[in-house]
Amino acid sequence: MHADPGEIDPMPPWIGRVRRRIVRRWPDLVGQAWVVAVSGGGDSVGLLRALHAVAPELGLRLSVAHLDHGVRGGEAEADAAFVADLAGRLGLPADLGRWEPSRPGHFEADARRARLSWLLEVARGRGARAVALGHTADDQAETVLHRILRGTGLRGLAGIPSRRPLAEDPPVALVRPLLAVTRHEIRAGLAALGQPHREDATNADTTRTRSRIRHALLPLLADQYNPRVAEALARLGRLAAGSQRALESRLDSLEREVLLAADPARVELDRDRLAALPPPLRAELLRRAWRRAGWPEAGMTARRWRRLARLAIRPESPQHDIGHGVRLRHSGNVLLERLQACNPDAEDAVVTPPVPLPIPGAAAWRGWAIVASTDPGEPRDESVDLDRVVPPLQVRGPLPGDRFEPLGMAGRTMPLADFLRGRKVPRADRPLVPLVCDGAGILWVVGHRIADRAKVTDRTARELGLRAVPDPA
């Protein structure tokens, strides 16, 4: 039995906490359009009902977004139907999408990226300033505990951020209004409202570490050590987040004193002032300077930041290779130089012309060999339906105005710049991303995703394998 969505009396008290969080923490999002991501599960349904309850007072213009991840068959279809029906009863527009996994063993990471890219596209289409997710205080506790088990620092202990930018120009924020609300409170509130929700059986899959933490470790800790362990972990996350904010404020001041220059080609810091700082602050400032330059952080572990912090104050040391093409050397101050940096805004930026890619065959482009093969026995990074490829193929770099239809977004394109931003590709590195293109547009963003229009299906007769390898020449 469905309750009338308009009947919210008595309002569950946690909905009031959601309202206060929005008003106090995100006043810039009051009176704006929001996209609410709804899977159909209890947390996201609770999020939707809470936002629907406070929307009239706060002037929120809501729409619903639901993405099928292509792995649960009929259950996923029932989830989509449930969400569409709920949105209709609430009088809200809904966007329903579908994504299909393409890389075995990479489902969770790929699904997360696809979900965020799709939600950003929906937000752009709706003119929304916020995308709301249904993470709860329990999710926060699980995240903090998971990071403790793996080993983490202050930033990791801060857990899930309540807000972060999803895109810029125009800005879209990713917000989590339920981080101070427990899963138990939400379920009790939904029961009081007579609001049903769906259950995802995969959440009980204890082969995954996160599920074992939720269903085995946290209950064990609550039973034998602290019945309020989830609350304690969430509180630890809040305290760590507060400490991290205080640290960031201190770093803002230090950065103005220590950082002399930062661009895609080089970073320069005042060596004497850097050397006067404690090692943790020194490492954090170097991390900030690295980010200011727009350099990639993949592989830059806490250990590597500590090593860089040590080397940076030893002027007697010779130059060092830090990684990602970055070299450390001393010249009065601390200099970090990225040898293969490319500034896309510079007047003398090198534009590499397109290179033909034969089928089968290979093309060399900016240090990469891109290989196209019709031999099923050849190694490949991606496969596309050869009969959906529009010859000829070429390899080139990104161009202004490029649009891309990522796998999982059938029939919908997005600016390539937004796609690369969503994939966390630094601005300075975006011109270096190889694109395999055919007569219909971008076929493969190398290292990231193929175009949905050329995906392999059960009707595919011929496959084209695509591979990218470093070119020793």
Residue numbers in the known binding site for ATP are 39-44
| Residue type for position 14 | W
- d(C-alpha 162, C-alpha 241), whole Å: 10
Take residue 91 and report the two structure tokens written for it.
């009088």
- d(C-alpha 449, C-alpha 142), whole Å: 30
Q: How many residues does the chain have?
A: 473
How many Cβ atoms sit within 10 Å of the Cβ of residue 426? 18
- d(C-alpha 146, C-alpha 169), whole Å: 34
Give binding residues as ranges.
39-44
The contacts of residue 189 (CB under 8 Å, 6+ apart) are 12, 14, 15, 46, 49
3 state SS for the chain: CCCCCCCCCCCCHHHHHHHHHHHHHCHHHCCCEEEEECCCEHHHHHHHHHHHHHHHHHCCEEEEEEEECCCCHHHHHHHHHHHHHHHHHCCCCEEEEECCCCCCCCHHHHHHHHHHHHHHHHHHHHCCCEEECCCCHHHHHHHHHHHHHHCCCHHHHCCCCCEEEEECCCCEEEECCCCCCCHHHHHHHHHHHCCCCECCHHHHCCCCHHHHHHHHHHHHHHHHCCCCHHHHHHHHHHHHHHHHHHHHHHHHHHHHHHEEEECCCEEEECHHHHHCCCHHHHHHHHHHHHHHCCCCCCCCCHHHHHHHHHHCCCCCCCCEEEECCEEEEEECEEEEEECCCCCCCCCCCCCCCCEEECCCEEEEECCEEEEEECCCCCCCCEEEEHHHCCCCEEEECCCCCCEECECCCCCCCEEHHHHHHHCCCCHHHHHHCCEEEECCEEEEECCCEEEHHHCCCCCCCCEEEEEEEECCC
